[in-house]
């Protein structure tokens, strides 16, 4: 997929992960182990970094996640495919960049100083650690004894901190045009809980986004970025002489949506091409 001239982009850590998956023997019993989602997002970020499209990334990652990463997951194949699709959408629509951490990578994957991006990634890691060391934390107060009859914090208060992080993630994802059903998948993959400590559902997310004024984002704004990519693709195919009905099929196969988030039809494509003064042939 990456071509003979781009073999240099097959970094040692990536080669290790795509051929062997996560090597559990490198972790002690006490250490927390990376999840399938961690690896999925890491490899997807690498694909994005070397210039592979989201469609090509998804086509390859589906097989990899089902065939290799299922070994560290209890999810069904259909759940893995859906989760993979959501994670790839997130990586390609977000500002996430490839940042391996070199020898300190989360997966304890192979790392070599001869790697073509070793110096760049090593500097990134050092800068990240320097930023962390600059953060000062106030000491936590000593916990009070909770005796018999003393009321414990309510459920909403108990989960308030992680709920705020969950909503920050959900709001950022919504602003980037990621579908709510995919945001639900990502929230649950990250084990974020609702304000009452339960798993996320589409209905709960919709209500919470509405409270934050984000459920009413206009369709045109929500789907604007991907619509622009869809039109760029359609215009290129049209200029090459492809028939409109074939372009419609290609757009829907790639899961591009119209400006209002719907499937493409011949009539809609024709109207959009006319707006771009490109409606000459059928």
pTM for the complete prediction? 0.55
Q: What is the sign, positive or negative, of the torsion defined by CA atoms of 107, 109, 112, 118?
A: negative
Instruction: Report the pLDDT value the prediction gives residue 220, as an integer from 0 to 100.
Output: 54
pLDDT tens digits for range 169-179: 888 888 777 88
Find the angle CA(47)-CA(50)-CA(55) to the nearest 5 degrees.
Answer: 45
For the chain, residues with pLDDT lower than 50 are 5, 135-150, 216, 218-219
Q: Where are the domains of the chain?
A: 4-122, 155-217, 221-275
d(CA 88, CA 190): 14
pLDDT tens digits for range 221-277: 567 778 888 999 999 999 988 899 999 999 988 888 888 778 899 989 998 998 887
Instruction: Report the pLDDT value the prediction gives residue 280, as an integer from 0 to 100.
Output: 57
């Amino acid at each position: 997929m990456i071509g003979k001239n781009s073999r240099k982009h097959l970094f040692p850590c990536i080669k290790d992960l795509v051929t062997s998956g996560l090597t559990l023997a490198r972790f002690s019993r006490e250490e927390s182990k990376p999840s399938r989602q961690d690896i999925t997002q890491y490899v997807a970020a690498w694909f994005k970094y070397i210039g592979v499209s989201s469609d090509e990334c998804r086509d390859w990652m589906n097989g990899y996640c089902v065939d290799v990463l299922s070994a560290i997951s209890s999810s069904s194949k259909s759940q893995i495919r859906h989760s993979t699709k959501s994670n790839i959408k997130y990586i390609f629509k977000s500002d996430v960049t490839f940042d391996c951490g070199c020898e300190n990578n989360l997966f304890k994957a192979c790392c070599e100083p001869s790697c073509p991006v070793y110096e760049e990634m090593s500097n990134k890691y050092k800068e990240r650690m320097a930023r962390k060391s600059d953060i000062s934390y106030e000491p936590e107060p000593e916990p009070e004894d909770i005796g018999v009859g003393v009321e414990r914090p309510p459920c909403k208060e108990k989960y308030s901190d992680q709920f705020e992080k969950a909503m920050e993630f959900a709001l950022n994802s919504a602003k980037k045009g990621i579908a709510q059903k995919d945001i639900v998948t990502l929230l649950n993959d990250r084990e974020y809980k609702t304000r009452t400590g339960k798993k996320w559902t589409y209905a709960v997310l919709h209500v919470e986004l509405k409270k934050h004024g984000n459920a009413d984002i206009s369709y045109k704004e929500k789907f604007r970025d991907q619509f622009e990519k869809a039109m760029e693709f359609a215009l290129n195919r049209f200029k090459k002489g492809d028939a409109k009905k074939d372009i419609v099929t290609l757009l829907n196969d790639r899961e591009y949506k119209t400006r209002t988030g719907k499937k493409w039809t011949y009539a809609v494509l024709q109207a959009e091409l006319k707006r771009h003064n490109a409606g000459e042939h059928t």
